[in-house]
Amino acid sequence: MDLLNLKNKVLLLSAILLLNCAPGKESKYVLLNDFPPIVIINGDESDIKESNIYLLRDNDTIDKGHFKVYSKSDNKIDLKIGLDRRDSLQVEDKILFQMKGKQFTVSDFQKLEVRSSGNPYIISYKINGTAFIDREGNIKL
């Protein structure tokens, strides 16, 4: 009798936990602190310091900024986006920058909540049309 009661309690607790899992939702913005680093391969710090970031919304420049060096290894430099006035990216925003004469566009930002308990999420975006889902974007110079 006690074993059956224990099984019922475990089943009830499992059902409660599963009901707390909300379906995934899409957020309309991504915080810059949550945005994964962009990896520059075969780049120099001088190229990074010379490049400016432009945040576009509806084809108007609404903010400017620079990259911040997050970490460095052999031929890779991890960069974080640093804007002057904004701390978030809207879904329809685009980031434009140039390095070594090449122009890059970062767009299609999405923050998708994962179906789970708590509030985990996945950030996806595109660099020049190449999709990066919940990982660092790589740019080869």
Q: What percent of the chain stands above pLDDT 90?
A: 35
pLDDT tens track for 101-140: 899 999 998 887 777 666 678 888 999 999 888 777 888 8
Q: Is pLDDT at 94 greater than 70 in this prediction? A: yes
Region 72-95 average pLDDT: 90
Note whether 107 and 56 are within 8 A (CB). Answer: no
Specify the DSSP element, H or E, that contains 2.
helix 2-19
Q: What is the mean pLDDT of residues 67-94?
A: 90
Distance (Å, whole) CA 123 – CA 109: 7
Q: pTM for the whole thing?
A: 0.73
pLDDT band of 65, cuts 50, 70, 90: very high
d(CA 38, CA 136): 5
